Amino acid sequence: MPTRLPRLPGAVRGRDFIETRDWTVPEIELLLETSDRLKRAFRAGRPTRYLPDKTVFLFFFDKSTRTRNSFEAGATQLGAHAHFIAAETSQAAHGESPRDMGIILSSYGHAIAIRHDLVPGEGNRYMREVAEHATVPVFNMQCDIDHPFQTLADLMTIREEFGRDLRGRRIAVTWAYAPSYAKPMSVPQGLITLLPRFGLDVALAHPPEWKLMDAPLAFAREQAQKHGTSFEVTGDMDEACRGADIVYAKSWGIESLFHKPEEALALSARYKSWICDERRMRLASKDAIYMHCLPADRNHEVTDAVIDGPQSRVFREAENRLHTCKAVMALTM
């Protein structure tokens, strides 16, 4: 006889998960509580087949490791099936509209997940147009504005480390040099719009050219004021790291230069000193942790000694991607 599963609440059934700012604090708390429950069940080897015979379509305009695999593994563990679709192999490459895709894939399955993150002004708009015409939940696997599954896992990791009461804790969200490519802006924007709502003081650091988008900055300031936390922006990486409980150092691109990546990378070479190294971790609090969404450009964004050292939480952070992904699917599909 199959094991009877604990009942999940239906409060967010059918909801899209496009940006965390679309969800209230209590709704995000529900996601975190469910993520924790599913993680405990996974580690204990208990089945969690909440979505038998359901289908989620994974539509990718960009490459992926953690996101694709957390969705595919998570869907399987929930009893569902994930269909991987590379955009260049679909009719989207020939101009099929997001409206038509939303209508058609809704009739084939139970959720649509999209990654469209490399062109400012396009990805989030595309997802919301799909969602407007879909009759099933639409999930943001990373867009130009937010990476909500990543930042939900980040918050889960921080609370595992420091507890649920984060009041007075401080995170440095800082740009770091990377020579590989102009990375999306969505992770730092997702962090600054989510974390001030959960008690964290946020220090954002970047060189002058790497300013984030106006709307996420305005929302971060508004939420910090509303929730009694602080949000500050500095051009000094050391200043951001000083006294921080969490150092989240990663590269991102320049909004106006995503169509000129070579120019952006040449400009970033002036700031090779923006690296998370042992000296900067010593500026942070004595029990500080290092975080990164991965993949990290080793010995450019971060030294091996930091990312592989005792303060690093990057692998637990990546592990939590599976459980937050499963929580969103289980509660909404």
Distance CA 198, CA 188 (A): 16
Please say whether the beta carbons of 211 and 244 come within 8 A.
Answer: no
Tally the domains of the chain. Answer: 2
Residues 219 and 312 in one domain: yes
Please say whether the beta carbons of 148 and 20 come within 8 A.
Answer: yes
Domain-embedded: residue 303: yes
Domain-embedded: residue 175: yes
Residues 262 and 305 in one domain: yes
Distance CA 267, CA 261 (A): 10
Residues 176 and 126 in one domain: no
Distance CA 113, CA 11 (A): 20
Cα-based distances in Å from 265 to 124, 180, 252, 296: 24, 8, 10, 16
Give the list of residues 6+ apart from residue 146 with CB closer than 8 angstroms, or none. Answer: 18, 19, 20, 21, 124, 140, 186, 189, 190, 193, 216
pLDDT given at position 158: 98
pLDDT tens string 147-189: 999 999 999 999 999 999 999 999 999 999 999 988 999 999 9
Residues 245 and 262 in one domain: yes
Domain-embedded: residue 12: no
H helix intervals, the chain: 25-44, 66-77, 98-108, 123-133, 148-162, 186-194, 214-227, 237-241, 261-268, 278-283, 304-307, 314-332
Domain-embedded: residue 176: yes
pLDDT given at position 176: 98
Tokens of 123: 């990805």
Residues 270 and 132 in one domain: no
Distance CA 115, CA 141 (A): 5
Give the list of residues 6+ apart from residue 307 with CB closer than 8 angstroms, or none. Answer: 290, 292, 296, 298, 314
Residues 133 and 178 in one domain: no
Residues 289 and 169 in one domain: yes
Q: Which residues of the chain have pLDDT under 70?
A: 1-3
Q: At what angle do helices 186-194 and 148-162 cross, to 10 degrees?
A: 50
Residues 194 and 308 in one domain: yes
Residues 176 and 300 in one domain: yes
Domain-embedded: residue 102: yes
Residues 154 and 244 in one domain: yes
Domain-embedded: residue 155: yes
Q: If you search the block for the tokens 């569902």, which residue do you land on?
A: 80
Q: If you search the block for the tokens 């994930």, which residue do you land on?
A: 82
Angle at CA of residue 296, ends 188 and 196, nearest 5°: 20
Full domain range(s) for residue 254: 150-317
Tokens of 48: 């969690």
Residues 165 and 214 in one domain: yes
**142 DSSP β-pair partners:** 115
Domain-embedded: residue 136: yes
pLDDT given at position 261: 87
Burial grade of 281 (CB within 10 A; 0-12, 13-18, 19 or more): buried
Residues 138 and 165 in one domain: no
- The one-letter code for the residue type at 80 is A
State the DSSP string of 11-70: TTTT--BS-GGGS-HHHHHHHHHHHHHHHHHHHHT-----STT-EEEEEESS--SHHHHH
pTM of the complete model: 0.97
